[in-house]
Amino acid sequence: MSLVKTPKSTFAQKLKRFFMIDLIKGMGLTLKFNLGALTDKDAVAGKGIYTEQYPKVRPDVAPRFHGAPRLNMDPETHDTLCIACNLCAIACPEDCIDVIPMDVEIVVAGKPRRKKVLDEFIFDTSRCMFCALCQEACPTSCLELTQDFELATYSRAGFVWNREMLEQGRETVKYTS
C-alpha cells in the first residue's frame, strides 16, 4: 500500500501531460499578446497596448481634476480680471495665497481718486492642496485651477508661482516623439 493516496490520472490526462497541452496553451496566450502588441499600428493605447505613452501622448484627466493655478485675463483688453479683493487668500485653508495690491491714481468724474489694483500675486503650490476653494471664492472668475498636472520643479523656490507665471503659465517641455 502506498504511503499516500494519490489521485489516479486518466488516460486523457496522461495524454494531455505528454503533449504538454497546458504549456502550449500558456505559450499561445503569451504569443497572442506579443503579436497583438506588434500589430498595434499607432503604437498608442488601444488594441494590443494597454499602457499610456505619457510624455508623447498626454492623458485625459478627470473633468473635475484640479491642477496648476492660473490667473485669467480679459480676452479683449488682456488686463487682469483680478480686483485684488483678497477673497481667495481669505478662503484658502492652507494660507498659500498672497495678494499684494497697490494704489493707483485715477480720475473719476473729474476728481482724483485712488484705486486698489493688483500688483503681485504669490501662489505657493507646494502648500496648495488643490481644494479649489479660492476658485469658488473669486468673484470675477479670475483665479482658476486648470487641468495641467506637471508641477514638478528642481527647487523648493520653484513651487512659488508669481503673477507672471500664473498669467502666462509655466513652460514645460512638450515631447512629440
Partner 1 sequence: MLLFAPIDVLNDLLLRTGLSSDTIKFFVWPLIQIGLVVTLVALWVAYATYLERKISAFMQARLGPMRVGPWGLLQPIADGLKLLTKEDFIPDKADRWIFFFAPYIAVASAFIVFSVIPFGPDWAVIADVNIGLLLVLAVSSIGVLALILAGWSSNSKYALLGGLRSSAQMVSYEVAMGLSLIGALMFARTLSLSGIVAAQGADSIWYIVYQPAGFLLFLISGIAENNRAPFDLPEAESELVAGFHTEYSGMRWSLFFMAEYAAMVVVAAVATTVYLGGWYFPFVNRLQLSGHHNLYVLVSLLVFLVKASIILYVYFWLRWTLPRFRYDQLMDIGWKWLIPSALINIVLSGFAIFVVQALNGWRGIETIERLDRGLNLSATGKGIMIAIGLIGLFITAALLSRINWRSRDFNLKVQRRNIRLVNVPKGKPAVQAGS
Q: Rule CB under 8 A: say whether 26 interacts with partner 1.
A: yes
- In the complex with partner 1, the residue whose CB is nearer, 6 or 155, is 6
Cα dist from 41 to 15, 79, 175, whole Å: 40, 47, 20
Note the helical H segments in 39-142.
Answer: 87-91, 133-137
Q: CB-based burial of residue 134 (10 Å sphere; 0-12 exposed, 13-18 middle, 19+ buried)?
A: buried
In DSSP terms, 105 is beta-bridged to: 114
Interaction between residue 139 and partner 1 (CB under 8 A) = no
Residues 75-114 that bind partner 1 (CB under 8 A): none
Q: Determine the Cα–Cα distance for residues 39 and 6; give it in Å rounded to an integer.
A: 46
Looking at beta carbons only, is 48 or 169 nearer to partner 1? 48
Question: 42 to each of 34, 39, 49, 164, how far by Cα in Å?
Answer: 15, 9, 10, 38
**What part of residues 1-20 is at the interface with partner 1 (CB under 8 A)?**
2-6, 14, 18
Rounded least distance, CB 172 to partner 1, Å: 16
Q: Which of 13, 16, 42, 50 binds partner 1 (CB under 8 A)?
A: 50
Instruction: Please tell me whether residue 23 binds partner 1 under the rule CB under 8 A.
Output: yes
Applying CB under 8 A, which residues contact partner 1?
2-6, 14, 18, 23, 26-27, 29-31, 33-34, 36-38, 43, 48-51, 53, 55-56
